[in-house]
Structure 1
Amino acid sequence: MMKWAEVRELYPNKFIKFEVLDYNTIDNKRHVNDIAIIKVINDGKEAMKEFSLCKEGQFVYSTKNEQIAIEVVKYIGIRRSS
């Protein structure tokens, strides 16, 4: 379990694939408190590949960002008319 500030200090200018362990929701945004690092990624191309492989609760984020704030989007779905 790590804080984002610690991750940014250890891995400057990298992408991090991580799992969210703890967060607070404020105004439809999840402000992440604690994460578990899955993988450190060196370039944007690899980051996009890893992003496409993320499971629920996993994200890829750049350490250039001071905080992690993820917008919560409700899934509405598509209805089929009969």
Structure 2
Amino acid sequence: MKWSEIRRRYPNKCVLVEAISAYSKENKRIIEEMSVLEDHKNSSDAWSRYKKLHLECPARELYIFHTNNKNIEVENRLLRLIQE
């Protein structure tokens, strides 16, 4: 589902989504298609569920967005391990 459709179907909600079709470009993650796994009234409930699902399967590309946002933007972040 596209973000515009998710916003229409789940107004004023926090949605836990899984990226179905996504790619990286210019340090951003572009999500073309996603599946809504759950919707929540508040971010703390969505975050609790996200953590549980992420522990069960860390390879899944999960995100939490609020449908009040017209656009979504995900930055790619590179984590560095500095060894002394």
| TM-score when normalising by structure 2 | 0.78
Question: In structure 2, what is the Cα distance between the partners aligned to 1:53 and 1:8?
Answer: 24
Deviations 1:2-23 (A, max 9, x none): 1110000011110000111112
Q: Which structure: greater helix fraction?
A: 2
Q: Which structure: greater strand fraction?
A: 1
| Kept after mapping to 1: 8 A contact 2:28/2:75 | yes
Q: Does 1:70 align with 2:70?
A: no
Deviations 1:6-59 (A, max 9, x none): 000011110000111112433211121100111111123312323433524101
5+ residue gaps, structure 1 = none
SS where residue 81 of structure 2 aligns? coil
Q: Which residue in 1 is equivalent to 2:57?
A: none
Q: Does 1:25 align with 2:24?
A: yes
Q: State which structure, 1 or 2, has the greater radius of gyration over its C-alpha atoms.
A: 1
Q: What do you get for the CA RMSD once the two structures are aligned?
A: 1.7
| TM-score when normalising by structure 1 | 0.80
In the comparison of the two structures, how many residue pairs are matched? 79
Q: Find runs of 4+ consecutive structure 1 residues off by over 4 angstroms.
A: none
Q: Percent identity?
A: 24
Question: In structure 1, what is the Cα distance between the partners aligned to 2:52 and 2:38?
Answer: 12
